[in-house]
Chains A and B, each alone.
Chain A
Amino acid sequence: MPAVSRSRTRQREATRRQLVEAGLRVVAEHGFAGATTAAIARETGKAHGTVFVHFASRDILVEALVAAIGEAMSQQLARLPAEVCGVAEVLDAHLVALEEHEVLYVRLLREATVLPLSARARVFALQSAVGSRLRQAHARDVAHGVARAMNPVALTNLWIALTNHYLLNRDLFAPGGSVVAQRGAELKAQFLDVLKP
């Protein structure tokens, strides 16, 4: 590829990244409903039309924002060492990911039903990835006699339901602060208590 083309490609990718980063800042502040293409363009200082050079529609931009959130959280989970991992370690990794992205993830949970279906699918895919790691770890804990057996779907859904409940009501569980930072240990203890043999 000629040098000029490589430079243009790099510039294009850099602008796309700026738009996604700006979009995430706008979502954190105003939610997905407030993340209009005009607001995101203003956040970057670029012309409104620039958004549509990189994203054919607002739905595609929203998909990219949700993908960025999901990718960042997935990376956190993927760092778990599978060989030695018990349920407690998986919960710790998930809580770290949730705390790091709490504001954006809560926006996503609250607004998922009115976002493009792919956004909701991304949330479920992320939850399934957590569930997959939880199952592996739970099987290990059961084999070692430190956890009781449980239906694997129930295992995943109970943890997701517990964390989502606290996240969606973070203003009540941890007013003005991070619910994961303040109540994460409690959530983990509650869940592990359910799994006790």
Chain B
Amino acid sequence: MPHELCRSCGSCGFPMRDPSDFAGGNPDAIYCSTCGDATGQLRPFDEVLQANADYLVGQQGIDPQAARLMAHSLLVAMPAWQSHRPLS
């Protein structure tokens, strides 16, 4: 059965499938509804970071501070947030 690759959010990597997964409900958006606003633009880093941390806490109940650290490490590995990556 042929299948299409589902696009991943350019900010957090979430696999977007349903229109509600996409920013603004637009299947052409490159960001998900968590990371992008209603116009499809990327939200500020701090907002995206907290939203992703809250998602991890809400899904699995891990410690909020640990979730924030993990969300941060995940985001800065993505091209959209390269400028936030600590210099090594």
Contact = CB atoms under 8 A, between A and B. Distances in A.
A and B: partners?
yes
Interface residues of B, number: 26
**Residue of B12, B18, B59, B74 with most partner-chain A CB within 10 A:** B59
B70 A117 contact: yes
B67 to A, nearest CB: 8
A121 B8 contact: no
Interface residues of A, number: 29
A120 interface: yes
Contact of B15 (A77, A156, A160): A77
A118 B73 contact: yes
B70 A129 contact: no
A122 B71 CA distance: 9
Interface of B: 3, 5-6, 8, 12-18, 55-56, 58-62, 69-71, 73-74, 76-77, 88
Nearest first, the 8 closest Cβ-Cβ pairs linking A and B are: A121-B70, A78-B6, A128-B59, A78-B15, A118-B73, A117-B73, A121-B74, A74-B15
